[in-house]
């Protein structure tokens, strides 16, 4: 009986992982996906609708890159992408933002957006926000996603030291505010601040949350 319960739990867990890994709520990607991307560029009629249809499938990393490049080529050749609404997004991160740029562009088409994504330099979120001549500010995005994780905010642990913890948190908030103020001053874009995910390697599991610092 216990073996059956454990086996069932294992199957349920695997199904849950696959649901998100494979985007199982979306139709499976057709085998001729690459051909459809090429065909979409060959005819300008209804190009925006074709791109949105291609974005509606459960795409893996390579397919997202392929679709994002198809969108980029269409935009580069001046194709009309209606009914997709044009939107320019700045991405300021302390990581390699190019790794998520194509996924954002391709996925946005599923939601009706023709997204152009302009990235700041690696770990240059503050510097590029402050410089009016940076590619991020020269692009004049309509919104800037501030995608910093805990490593980019100098949130060093200080177990048992409430004062040091508060100082670190205040400094982190000041850093985010500095980026927001610079973006507002240089191009007036709306700022989107992503959630701050905690590091997965907790020393004492959930007990860490009960310890100051």
62-66, 185-189, 206-210: the lowest-pLDDT one: 206-210
Share of the chain above pLDDT 90, in %: 62
Residue of 11 and 195 predicted with greater confidence:
195
Is residue 208 over pLDDT 50? yes
Q: How many angstroms separate the Cα of 157 from the Cα of each of 129, 145, 148, 150, 208?
A: 27, 26, 17, 11, 10
Residue of 78 and 22 predicted with greater confidence:
78
Averaged pLDDT of the chain? 88
Residue of 182 and 9 predicted with greater confidence:
182
Q: Enumerate residues 6+ apart whose C-beta is below 8 A from 114.
A: 48, 51, 71, 75, 81, 84, 85, 86, 87, 108
Phi–psi pair at 130, nearest 5 degrees = -75, -30
Residue range 136-162: mean pLDDT, rounded:
89
Is residue 185 over pLDDT 90? yes
* Preceding amide of 61 cis, omega within 30: no
pLDDT computed for residue 85 by the predictor? 96
Phi–psi pair at 156, nearest 5 degrees = -75, 135
Query: In which band, very low, low, confident or very high, does the pLDDT at 12 lie, cut at 50, 70 and 90?
Result: low
Q: If you compute the radius of gyration of the chain from its CA atoms, what whole number of angstroms results?
A: 22
DSSP E strands, the chain: 85-93, 113-119, 143-147, 190-193
Q: How many angstroms separate the Cα of 153 from the Cα of each of 76, 93, 203?
A: 36, 11, 20
Order the strands of the 113-119 sheet from edge to edge. Answer: 113-119, 85-93, 143-147, 190-193
């Amino acid at each position: 009986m216990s073996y059956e319960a454990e086996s069932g739990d294992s199957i349920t867990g695997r199904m849950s992982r696959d649901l998100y890994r494979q985007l199982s709520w979306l139709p499976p990607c057709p085998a001729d996906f690459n051909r459809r991307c090429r065909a979409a560029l060959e005819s300008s009629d209804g190009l925006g609708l074709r791109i949105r249809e291609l974005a509606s499938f459960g795409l893996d990393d390579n397919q997202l890159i392929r679709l994002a490049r198809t969108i980029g080529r269409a935009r580069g050749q001046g194709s009309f992408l209606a009914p997709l609404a044009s939107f320019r997004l700045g991405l300021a991160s302390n990581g390699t933002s190019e790794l998520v740029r194509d996924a954002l562009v391709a996925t946005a088409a599923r939601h009706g957006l023709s997204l152009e994504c302009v990235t700041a330099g690696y770990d240059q979120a503050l510097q590029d926000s402050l410089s009016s001549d940076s590619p991020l500010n020269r692009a004049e995005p309509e919104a800037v996603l501030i995608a910093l994780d805990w490593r980019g905010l100098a949130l060093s642990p200080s177990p048992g030291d409430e004062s040091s913890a508060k100082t670190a948190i205040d400094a982190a908030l000041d850093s985010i505010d500095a980026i927001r103020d610079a973006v507002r001053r240089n191009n007036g874009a709306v700022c989107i601040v992503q959630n701050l995910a905690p590091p997965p390697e907790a020393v004492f599991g959930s007990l860490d949350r009960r310890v100051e610092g």
